[in-house]
């Protein structure tokens, strides 16, 4: 000890005769720190309300504190489910080549509201969507070793339907192919 009531780690030892009493940060300081950490977590990438709620619980906050902080983060625009849903839909369509059905399923798994799901799916341009189906089918057909047109069409259709595209659209494109 250096005579100023602090131990070697800098904790205030107070006036305790034994010198081993550590002053804990207040709960409000803890909540402020949790908010800063969570705001940084949200600024890094878009998050759902549920992801933020889970993060706050993992930081050790109680239910009421979590809901208050989540409301503040929404008010301050760190959390915005519509923005998350739009970003999710665009990225899954553009990078993962997912169809609307698979994107919608992913949004449902993340507990996104029906309203936000609808808005997000409107982000996908219809012409780009059909073009993507055509590209996926073409790419898959080129990778199929079989020569039977029926098998080729079925494998290509199954692949694209598996990526979350509507079967009627997929079959319309597949059946229009000169195989």
Tokens representing 50 are 């549920």
Q: If pLDDT is split at 50, 70 and 90, which confidence band does 178 have?
A: confident
User: Would you say residue 142 has pLDDT above 60?
Assistant: yes
Do 116 and 134 share a domain, yes or no? no
Do 165 and 117 share a domain, yes or no? no
Do 30 and 65 share a domain, yes or no? yes
User: Total domain count for the chain?
Assistant: 3
Do 6 and 47 share a domain, yes or no? yes
Do 73 and 13 share a domain, yes or no? yes
Do 89 and 144 share a domain, yes or no? no
Backbone angles phi, psi at 65, to 5 degrees: -65, -40
Do 68 and 92 share a domain, yes or no? no
Domain range enclosing 149: 126-175
Instruction: Quote the mean pLDDT of the chain.
Output: 88
Do 39 and 72 share a domain, yes or no? yes
User: Would you say residue 20 has pLDDT above 70?
Assistant: no
CATH number for position 26: 1.10.10.10
Do 138 and 113 share a domain, yes or no? no
Q: What is the pLDDT averaged over residues 124-141? A: 95
Do 111 and 143 share a domain, yes or no? no
Task: Look at residue 79 in the predicted model and tell me its pLDDT.
Answer: 94
Do 113 and 141 share a domain, yes or no? no
Q: What angle do CA 23, 29, 31 make, to 5 degrees?
A: 130
Task: Look at residue 27 in the predicted model and tell me its pLDDT.
Answer: 82
Q: What is the pLDDT averaged over residues 153-179? A: 93
Domain boundary among 79, 112, 139: 79
Do 72 and 87 share a domain, yes or no? no
Lowest pLDDT segment from 7-16, 55-64, 130-139: 7-16
Domain boundary among 79, 106, 136: 79
Q: What are the CB-based long-range contacts (under 8 Å, 24+) for 165-173? A: 165/99, 165/100, 165/101, 165/133, 165/136, 166/99, 166/100, 166/101, 169/130, 169/133, 170/133, 170/137, 173/130, 173/133, 173/134, 173/137
């Amino acid at each position: 000890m250096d005579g100023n009531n602090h131990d070697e780690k800098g904790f205030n030892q107070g006036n305790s005769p034994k010198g081993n009493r550590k002053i804990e940060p207040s709960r409000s300081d803890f909540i402020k720190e949790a908010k800063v950490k969570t705001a940084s977590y949200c600024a890094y990438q878009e998050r759902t309300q549920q992801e933020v709620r889970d993060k706050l619980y993992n930081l050790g906050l109680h239910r009421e504190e979590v809901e208050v902080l989540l409301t503040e983060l929404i008010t301050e625009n760190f959390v915005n489910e519509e923005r998350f849903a739009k970003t999710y839909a665009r990225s899954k369509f553009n990078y993962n080549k997912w169809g609307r059905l698979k994107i919608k399923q992913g949004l449902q798994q993340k507990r996104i509201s029906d309203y936000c799901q609808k808005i997000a799916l409107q982000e996908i341009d219809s012409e780009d969507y059909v073009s993507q189906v055509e590209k996926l089918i073409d790419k898959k057909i080129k990778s199929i070793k079989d020569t039977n047109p029926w098998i080729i069409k079925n494998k290509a259709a199954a692949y694209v339907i598996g990526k979350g595209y509507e079967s009627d659209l997929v079959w319309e494109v597949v059946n229009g192919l000169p195989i």
